[in-house]
A and B are shown apart, each in its own frame.
Chain A
Amino acid sequence: MISIEDIQSNMYLQLAKRNLKRQTFRTVLAAIGIIIGVIAISSMGILGNSLKMSVTDSFGDIGDKLLIYPAPGEDGVTEKQIQQMKKVDGIDAIIPAYSTGDRVEYKNSYTFGSIYSIEREDLEKLAEVEDGQFFKSGSTDCVIGSSIADNLELRVGSKIEIGDSRLRVVGILKERGMGFDIDADTGVFTSAQMYEKMYPGEGDEYDFAIVRAEELDKVDDIKEDIEKLLNKKEEVITVFATNIILESINEAFKSISLFLMGIGSISLLVAGVSILNVMLMSTMERTKEIGVMKAVGASRKDVLTMFLLEALLLGVVASLIGGLFTIGAGYLILSLVVKNTSYLFSLATLIYIFEGILFGVATSLIGGMYPAWKASNMRPLDALRYE
């Protein structure tokens, strides 16, 4: 076992430490290079990751839904198919819906909205009512999205006209933002009976169905099972898993993170060159010392070890300091750019700091390699003669 005391009294390490201290100012300057490099690379990583997290957060819980559309050439999703889908494991809810687009009028103004027929209990699963209440089953009432309400200056109790029908607004939905299942903000939701009255002859087949998974992990399995079950003979439905969107967001932000870290790594490259420079200078200054070491029995490997250890020590100490500062730098960047510092305390942040430290140490070692090699290959005689 190697104890801390052994390491402390290790002569190579002692030598490395003292040689670094010999030119304190120069060492500190080289260390600052590494520190800045580590901060740059890891805080850029943290920034990229936080941007990703803030975007995925704003998409809410879309990832656990699958959308079932009729396949091209099919009229709709049938009730039979809905029943078949219920056999698939891991499904929390199946929400069939009719939908169409239409002109929504109120007094003298109008806008366009998506008209939905979704059962009341199903709608409750997808959106919240901010004002008023959900419509009653079979009534001629409707619930509208927040942007329609804003556009037409509607309140609970207003009566809107769609085609020849008049619907009473009983509820206004809470703003939900972008979604891939229903356009909640620009939607008008009403009962099946009312919808049938407004658009007769639309048929019994649903326009689409929303399937909600019990857990995010099961989305892919559910998609596969539904496709296997329903598209056995011929393709009748198309399944669209919304987690694909999350995945592509993740992919895109991975590239952004990588790009940002790439920019950060330029500063580390510069630091590596400065380590190379410092170590080369110190090799030149210590030529005679290297000669003496070799004369008293240091092999090439011994000299190589001594110089690499110096670079390593410098790299480890500077990188650790850099890692520590990254927490502060990350906090600053997040509060300025993303305006949410809670992302700082995530596992991903730790990983990026760790990566930064790793790159810092590696850079120092690489920078120290050539000088160490050069020192180890000095001929003792030439080195001894050097004044």
Chain B
Amino acid sequence: MSDPIVQLQNVRKTYTLGASEIHALNGVSISIERGDFVTIMGASGSGKSTLLNMVGCLDTPTSGKVKINGTDITKLDDDKLTTIRRDNIGFIFQQFNLIPTLTAIENVEIPMIFSRVPQNLRKERAMRTLEQAKLEAEYAYHRPNELSGGQQQRVAIARALANEPPILLADEPTGNLDSKTGKSIMELLVRLNEEGTTLIVVTHDQKLTEYSNKTIVLMDGEVSNDIY
């Protein structure tokens, strides 16, 4: 069996807030295998966002070790973290977070610009990725404010897929969608997972755990139950 794609060993994250210390993560050890679909659950304040930030290389631990796709990111600086993030992680946000000045297809092109994909390949690849995310081609040249929530999330998923990362990280991907649209988005994510992408979804929606093959429940900065 190959190395886990995401590995956390005894990770602690401590924030200082005024005089008091907050232990957002308190010795968390998890490992996620390639091709896994993992949901991370927990109440607000349980540390799930912090965990997601660690896995997404947006943050580094106070102590412990985080390995992403074989690279130890614990001691990396901002620029190196950016590179790891760019090549390994696709982000999907609850708020979609599309760039409002850019059209759908341009939003998908953005990560490719940062990974220096030549301009002549970008358009075509972005179009294909949008197709993969099931956005109708006619919306490719629309601005985010001209799209519905579901459509925006599809663009965001396409953007996350743009650099063909091995890991997709979704933070409440259906949180801003009605249940029908949410269901279709989840089906899309499941399909992407079946095609080989490791999928990590952070949510407090119990229903999403039905799709995943593994659920991690966090409570007060600790893993309370690894297996569902």
- The residues of A with any CB-CB pair to B shorter than 8 Å are 6, 9, 11-12, 14-15, 18-19, 22, 288-289, 292-300, 302, 379-381, 384
- The residues of B with any CB-CB pair to A shorter than 8 Å are 53, 56, 58-59, 78-79, 82-83, 85-87, 91, 93, 97, 99-102, 106, 109-111, 113-115, 119, 159-160, 162-163
Look across to chain B and name the residue whose beta carbon is closest to the beta carbon of A15: B101
Partner of A296, one of B79, B101, B110, B119: B110
Instruction: Tell me whether B78 and A297 are in contact (CB under 8 A).
Output: no
Instruction: Tell me whether B97 and A294 are in contact (CB under 8 A).
Output: no
Chain B contact residues, majority secondary structure:
helix
Look across to chain B and name the residue whose beta carbon is closest to the beta carbon of A302: B114
CA distance A384 to B80 in the complex (A): 19
Instruction: Tell me whether B119 and A297 are in contact (CB under 8 A).
Output: no
How far in angstroms is the closest Cβ of chain B from A113? Answer: 81
Look across to chain B and name the residue whose beta carbon is closest to the beta carbon of A22: B101
Known: A381-B58, A381-B59. A296 touches B109 (CB 8 A): no
User: B79 contacts which chain A residues (CB < 8 A)?
Assistant: 299-300
Instruction: Tell me whether A299 and B82 are in contact (CB under 8 A).
Output: yes
How far in angstroms is the closest Cβ of chain A from B219? Answer: 22
How far in angstroms is the closest Cβ of chain B from A146? Answer: 73
User: A288 contacts which chain B residues (CB < 8 A)?
Assistant: 97
Instruction: Tell me whether A11 and B109 are in contact (CB under 8 A).
Output: yes
9 additional A-B residue pairs with CB within 8 Å, beyond A11-B109, A384-B97: A9-B119, A11-B113, A15-B101, A296-B160, A297-B83, A297-B86, A299-B83, A302-B113, A380-B58
Look across to chain A and name the residue whose beta carbon is closest to the beta carbon of B50: A381
Chain A contact residues, majority secondary structure:
helix
CA distance A22 to B101 in the complex (A): 8
CA distance A6 to B110 in the complex (A): 16
Instruction: Tell me whether B101 and A295 are in contact (CB under 8 A).
Output: no
Q: Tell which of A6, A292, A297 has the most Cβ of chain B within 10 Å.
A: A297
CA distance A18 to B110 in the complex (A): 15
User: A302 contacts which chain B residues (CB < 8 A)?
Assistant: 113-114
Known: A19-B101, A381-B53. A296 touches B58 (CB 8 A): no
Partner of B91, one of A6, A19, A295: A295
CA distance A228 to B93 in the complex (A): 87
Known: A11-B106, A288-B97, A381-B53. A296 touches B78 (CB 8 A): no
CA distance A246 to B217 in the complex (A): 88
Q: Tell which of A288, A292, A296, A380 has the most Cβ of chain B within 10 Å.
A: A296
How far in angstroms is the closest Cβ of chain B from A4? Answer: 14
CA distance A379 to B91 in the complex (A): 16
Instruction: Tell me whether A296 and B114 are in contact (CB under 8 A).
Output: yes
How far in angstroms is the closest Cβ of chain A from B134? Answer: 20
Known: A11-B106, A302-B114, A381-B53. A297 touches B163 (CB 8 A): yes
User: B83 contacts which chain A residues (CB < 8 A)?
Assistant: 297, 299
Known: A15-B101, A18-B101, A380-B58. A297 touches B82 (CB 8 A): yes
Look across to chain B and name the residue whose beta carbon is closest to the beta carbon of A295: B91
User: B160 contacts which chain A residues (CB < 8 A)?
Assistant: 296
Instruction: Tell me whether A295 and B58 are in contact (CB under 8 A).
Output: yes
Known: A6-B119, A297-B86, A297-B163. A11 touches B110 (CB 8 A): yes
User: B111 contacts which chain A residues (CB < 8 A)?
Assistant: 296-297
Q: Tell which of A9, A12, A18, A300 has the most Cβ of chain B within 10 Å.
A: A18
User: A298 contacts which chain B residues (CB < 8 A)?
Assistant: 82, 110, 114
Instruction: Tell me whether B114 and A299 are in contact (CB under 8 A).
Output: yes
Instruction: Tell me whether B99 and A293 are in contact (CB under 8 A).
Output: yes
Instruction: Tell me whether B86 and A296 are in contact (CB under 8 A).
Output: yes
User: A380 contacts which chain B residues (CB < 8 A)?
Assistant: 58
User: B102 contacts which chain A residues (CB < 8 A)?
Assistant: 14-15, 18
